[in-house]
Chain A
Amino acid sequence: MMRRRIVNVLESTRRLFLRRGIPENDVSAKYLIAHCLGMKSLNSLDKLDPRSTMSKEEQTMLNDLMKKRLSRIPIQYLVEEWDFQDFSLKMKQPVLIPRPETELLVDLIVREAAMYDPFGCFVEIGCGSGCISLSLLRQLTHSSCVAIDQSETACQLTMQNSVELKLNQRIQVFHHKLTEQSMSELVDFLRSFRVEFIVSNPPYVPSDEFERLEDEIRLYEDRAALDGGPDGLDVIKVILAFADRLLLPNRDLWLEVDEHHPPLIEDWIEKQGIGMKMKNVLKDQFNRVRFCHLRKQ
């Protein structure tokens, strides 16, 4: 195998992806090639001398990744890393890949953080890769956190990321599935912590919609992190009950949800007599209703 010019490899890879209906053919090709060259930024790729070439080893690596991409495996799993806010996280199939909307959720919480005890603790339900908890720990420098996830892979990934970011001393990760039955145990355990708020990006996709999602998500990301049941509210309902039991008055619950959820959540709270009030419903950067800010009464 000869050395080939990167511009040519890029073009042929992109064309292949295009022919085979791979979404984002241009960016996919670029990220894979950049990864083989040891780069993370598309800018670095653009800055290369147009006459640069790829070695035999680099091409072999690319071919392997290309095949996987043709099976619709997400880029983030292929490069095993992605950026969230101003830092990087390791990614591992099938742990949920962070979405940009979630980056905004972190900002919203930090903006309100003045009302929380800076030395207090927060709880995350369904931490996944750890993006929310670790991002909050970076900005709320005196806080500590307890994060749980029902997937052991996710727990390990969160712990790995916390070590890389040197935040492992401030986070405790538990492998635990939150249900109506298991709730009491968790609430008892957490009572001794000064929990200022609970945050979650729970599965909120309605089951029938899940079936229509693109292959990257449907085939490779953890269904349990996405499928929220018939109306997408299954896990959210459990979290509401949990927050009602754990939180002291005037402490908060922050949720990322589906666009149509907020009024349904308010109805549910009323119907079930949950002692929480919807303080604010907020839109994301794409102008869709996305976040619920609830307060324990």
Chain B
Amino acid sequence: MCTALARKVWTSLFRHSFISSKRNLSTIKVNSFLSKKHSASSYCITATRFSSSGCYELIRSDHVQRYLNSIYTECSTLNEQLQNGQILDEKKNEYFASNVRIFRVLDELFQTQKDYKELQQLLNDTSDKDLQSAASDESKVFMNALEKSSEEVLALLVPDEPEDSADLVFELTAGVGGQEAMLFCGEMLQMYLNFCAYKGWTTGAVSIDKTDIGGIRQASAEVSGNGVYKWMKFESGVHRVQRVPKTERSGRLHTSTVTVAILPQPKEINIEIRDKDLKIDTFRASGPGGQKVNKTDSAVRVTHLPTGTVSECQETRSQHDNKKRALDKLKFRIYQKQYELEVDKRQRNRKIQVGAAGRSEKIRTYNFPQDRITDHRLNDNFHHIDEFLLGSDSLEAMLLALQYESRKERLLEIVGNQ
């Protein structure tokens, strides 16, 4: 067995590209994982910049192991029964169907674990220096595979939330701090616009409320693209900046704030709005109509009676068109209301929140003198504010960390409930 494994190790060395034995897994440059082509569904990375537990670590925690093992054993039994030509009852069939994908990935994972253990054995048993170094390199490859399988398992266990595939509107508002807040608001706008370009997303309808003295009071933009809401949702909240303003003579540190709101705009709002639930107010309500009347007031107000949501439009000179626009706005507003209720319900107990509840929370502090960015939902600090404000890989790393933490939290929710 030893020779067979040794052969396997040697041949694999030529097939895989491996990392030099001097470097340890945890110091892989972040960039190699965070290329622009990084798929939106993959969220787990193992760089040192933040929390050191990877996906595999997460899987191996007690709760999760127990949960996964129960799925695996149950599915194994069912699988065997199916192989033997047995017919399963409806409930069992459903269970198997909804868990078969995790089952297959777990199968792969457990197999890799087995191989890895054998390799560790080899490492311990041999004293051949060359074989040892080759085997230790090979174990890095196995770790990668384990991480990858773990990522897949987690993605299956903790799927995307329904609004993750939506487009979004982001709004920045300068808060307390006067001009400082407005200046930083401008810097944050630039950061986000850069980030959108970095990710290859499309921005539109950019509206900026500038001030005469520099900086901006408010800004908003629409962003569309793959996974935009999923990435940006954790930016909602109050961002705090601590720095000495350029105009400050006594070198005193000022604290100012910028509020960020991220509003999902799903591509299709599947809200059923029945005609009879709508009250439409237009100028021409009574009296004769058709050719007998010529009115120029084209304003329309639409009220959704069940929810009391109202929307108005007088943008065009066609009542017909204004009505369409008012209905679209109405749908969006009803959706927002529904969304906020739903999200609040879902997230009541979470540390990492988005939506209305999350919007007034202080989520991040940028401390310029110490060149440190602290996201209050994460354990580690980030540095190099200048680089961060460029809105590329540094911001991306933080957002990945937040996605990961959020997923972790949701995972424990799921697993804990069993």
B283, B296, B318: residue with the most chain A Cβ atoms closer than 10 Å:
B296
Contact, CB under 8 Å: A86 / B292: no
* Contact among B285, B319, B321 with A86 in the assembled complex (CB-CB below 8 Å): B321
Q: A203-B291, A205-B291, A214-B294 are in contact. Are A100 and B319 (CB under 8 A)?
A: yes
Contact, CB under 8 Å: A83 / B290: no
Q: A84-B318, A85-B320 are in contact. Are A216 and B289 (CB under 8 A)?
A: no
Assembled-state Cα–Cα distance A31/B295 (Å): 12
* Contact among B285, B315, B320 with A100 in the assembled complex (CB-CB below 8 Å): B320
Stretch from A40-48, A145-153, A266-274 that touches the partner:
A40-48
Closest B-chain residue to A84, C-beta based? B318
* Contact among B285, B295, B321 with A83 in the assembled complex (CB-CB below 8 Å): B321
- Residues of B within 8 Å of A104, CB to CB, are 320
User: A57: CB under 8 A from chain B?
Assistant: no
Known contacts A24-B297, A99-B291, then 20 further A-B pairs from the complex at CB < 8 Å, ordered by chain A residue: A24-B295, A27-B296, A41-B316, A82-B318, A83-B317, A83-B321, A85-B318, A88-B317, A99-B289, A99-B293, A100-B320, A107-B320, A201-B291, A209-B292, A217-B294, A221-B294, A225-B291, A285-B280, A286-B289, A290-B290
Contact, CB under 8 Å: B317 / A40: yes
User: B314: CB under 8 A from chain A?
Assistant: yes
- Residues of A within 8 Å of B317, CB to CB, are 40-41, 82-83, 88
**Interfacial residues, chain A to chain B (CB-CB below 8 A):** 23-24, 27-28, 31, 40-43, 74-76, 82-86, 88, 96-97, 99-101, 103-104, 107, 201, 203-205, 209, 213-214, 216-217, 221, 225-226, 256, 258-259, 284-286, 288, 290
User: B333: CB under 8 A from chain A?
Assistant: no
- Residues of B within 8 Å of A40, CB to CB, are 317
- Residues of A within 8 Å of B283, CB to CB, are 24
- Residues of A within 8 Å of B315, CB to CB, are 41-43
- Residues of B within 8 Å of A100, CB to CB, are 284, 298, 318-320
- Residues of B within 8 Å of A256, CB to CB, are 290
Which residues between 266 and 294 of chain B lie within 8 Å of chain A, taking CB atoms? 280, 282-285, 289-294
Closest B-chain residue to A28, C-beta based? B296
Q: A41-B316, A85-B320, A284-B289 are in contact. Are A97 and B297 (CB under 8 A)?
A: no
Contact, CB under 8 Å: B294 / A74: yes
Interface size, chain B (Cβ < 8 Å):
26
Contact, CB under 8 Å: A24 / B296: yes
Closest B-chain residue to A217, C-beta based? B294
Q: A86-B321, A103-B318 are in contact. Are A97 and B284 (CB under 8 A)?
A: no
A288 to chain B, nearest CB (A): 5
- Residues of A within 8 Å of B324, CB to CB, are 86
Of all A-B residue pairs in the complex, the 10 with the closest CB atoms, nearest first, are A103-B320, A83-B317, A83-B318, A100-B319, A27-B297, A75-B296, A83-B316, A43-B315, A42-B314, A286-B289
A-B contact pairs, 8 of them (CB 8 A): A41-B317, A74-B294, A84-B320, A99-B293, A217-B293, A225-B291, A258-B290, A290-B290
- Residues of B within 8 Å of A75, CB to CB, are 296
Assembled-state Cα–Cα distance A83/B319 (Å): 9
Assembled-state Cα–Cα distance A204/B291 (Å): 8
* Contact among A85, A86, A217, A288 with B289 in the assembled complex (CB-CB below 8 Å): A288
A87 to chain B, nearest CB (A): 9
Assembled-state Cα–Cα distance A213/B289 (Å): 11
A83, A213, A259: residue with the most chain B Cβ atoms closer than 10 Å:
A83
Contact, CB under 8 Å: B294 / A97: yes
Contact, CB under 8 Å: A205 / B296: no
Closest B-chain residue to A103, C-beta based? B320
Q: A40-B317, A41-B315, A100-B318 are in contact. Are A286 and B285 (CB under 8 A)?
A: yes
A253 to chain B, nearest CB (A): 18
- Residues of A within 8 Å of B321, CB to CB, are 83, 85-86, 103
- Residues of B within 8 Å of A288, CB to CB, are 289-290
B285 to chain A, nearest CB (A): 7
Contact, CB under 8 Å: B289 / A31: no
Closest B-chain residue to A225, C-beta based? B291
Contact, CB under 8 Å: A101 / B290: yes
* Contact among A23, A43, A97, A204 with B314 in the assembled complex (CB-CB below 8 Å): A43
Contact, CB under 8 Å: A99 / B294: yes
Contact, CB under 8 Å: B291 / A226: yes
Contact, CB under 8 Å: B296 / A76: yes
Q: A41-B316, A42-B314, A83-B317 are in contact. Are A217 and B295 (CB under 8 A)?
A: no
A275 to chain B, nearest CB (A): 28
Closest B-chain residue to A284, C-beta based? B289
Closest A-chain residue to B297, C-beta based? A27
Assembled-state Cα–Cα distance A201/B289 (Å): 14
- Residues of A within 8 Å of B282, CB to CB, are 285
- Residues of B within 8 Å of A43, CB to CB, are 314-315
- Residues of B within 8 Å of A290, CB to CB, are 289-290
Contact, CB under 8 Å: A31 / B320: no
- Residues of A within 8 Å of B298, CB to CB, are 83, 100
Contact, CB under 8 Å: A205 / B292: yes
* Contact among A42, A86, A97 with B318 in the assembled complex (CB-CB below 8 Å): A86
Assembled-state Cα–Cα distance A8/B63 (Å): 72
Closest B-chain residue to A97, C-beta based? B294
Q: A24-B297, A286-B285 are in contact. Are A213 and B318 (CB under 8 A)?
A: no
Assembled-state Cα–Cα distance A46/B314 (Å): 10
Contact, CB under 8 Å: A99 / B316: no
Q: A42-B314, A100-B319 are in contact. Are A286 and B292 (CB under 8 A)?
A: no
A235 to chain B, nearest CB (A): 12
Closest B-chain residue to A101, C-beta based? B290
Contact, CB under 8 Å: A101 / B289: yes
Assembled-state Cα–Cα distance A85/B316 (Å): 9
Assembled-state Cα–Cα distance A57/B283 (Å): 32
Closest B-chain residue to A210, C-beta based? B292
- Residues of B within 8 Å of A258, CB to CB, are 290-291
- Residues of A within 8 Å of B297, CB to CB, are 24, 27
Which residues between 363 and 379 of chain B lie within 8 Å of chain A, taking CB atoms? none
B102 to chain A, nearest CB (A): 45
